[in-house]
Amino acid sequence: MKNNTPQDKGKSGLHWRGRLWLEGEEGTFLGYGRVVLLERIREYGSLAQAARSMEMSYKHAWDLLASMNRQAGCRLVETSRGGKSGGGARLTVTGERAITVFWQYHARFQDVLQEMTAKLGEVLCGDPGEEL
Amino acid sequence: MKNNTPQDKGKSGLHWRGRLWLEGEEGTFLGYGRVVLLERIREYGSLAQAARSMEMSYKHAWDLLASMNRQAGCRLVETSRGGKSGGGARLTVTGERAITVFWQYHARFQDVLQEMTAKLGEVLCGDPGEEL
């Protein structure tokens, strides 16, 4: 008798996990780290401060942003030059949307992993003769 | 009008990618590398040869296998001691099942990523004013 009820869930304590990123022609377009960078730019209004808060060099943050802009085909962040402090930075509508979209798909992705885990119960150690 | 037709696919060349692994109390139980190790053990009938074919130390392969056995609660590979050559090794039913299950869920996982990509078309650069 087939029985896929949730009673089997976590039988062995095993669960599916995963990482998700959005890839373009250059490689990663948007992953966890880039999304956090965008969120920090929104929080601080400054690429330099956002980078510093993540212990990332300004150059690296700038390169990540340039890579996102190129691959999106439009700007995710508007920057203004402002001398030593590095000027101001604010997210465009596309930048805001990138954050929203990433977390939206990330949530869907986590749901799928949970669904996969719920189905996993019976797959291992079905044969008592194999027990340790 | 809502319109989620595939015509939007690949508009920006962006696509979702991901990595999948099965986690237990110790951390990873089964991921891409461990599954390939099991497949090589099946191919060579020897843990030592399987490890060598992956440029992995025998100790590391043995540790991975011990970790899998502990977390599964049963053996994935049966080994027999055999002097210098390291003895023979063959997959148990659970070992075979682990390979099958991993690729089965991996395929489902890839399908989900494709479905997510197909829905992605409209999310970026919707505002012409933002174009580079």
Query: Across all residues in chain B, what is the average pLDDT?
Result: 84
Percent of chain B with pLDDT over 70: 77
Question: Do B50 and B61 touch, CB atoms closer than 8 A?
Answer: yes
> Residue B124: which of A67, A98, A102, A69 has the closest Cα?
A98
Alpha-helical runs (H) found in A73-92: none
CB pairs under 8 A between A and B: 140
Cβ proximity of B68 and B79 under 8 Å? no
The reply to whether the predicted model has a pTM over 0.80 is no
Q: What is the per-residue pLDDT for A113?
A: 96
**Dist CA B91 CA B12 (whole Å):** 45
How far A47 CA sits from the closest chain B CA (Å)?
Answer: 19
By residue count, chain A amounts to: 132
User: B23 and A120 in contact (C-beta within 8 Å)?
Assistant: no
Q: Considering CB atoms only, which of A14, A24, A124 is closest to B94?
A: A124
A97 CB within 8 Å of a chain B CB:
yes
Residue carrying structure tokens 């798909």: A105
Residue A7 pLDDT exceeds 50? no
Q: What is the pLDDT of residues A97-118, one digit of tens each?
A: 999 999 999 999 999 999 999 9
Q: What angle do CA B10, A102, B29 make, to 5 degrees?
A: 100
Nearest to A72 among B12, B69, B105 (CB): B12
SS3 A107: helix
Give the model's pLDDT for residue B123.
Answer: 58
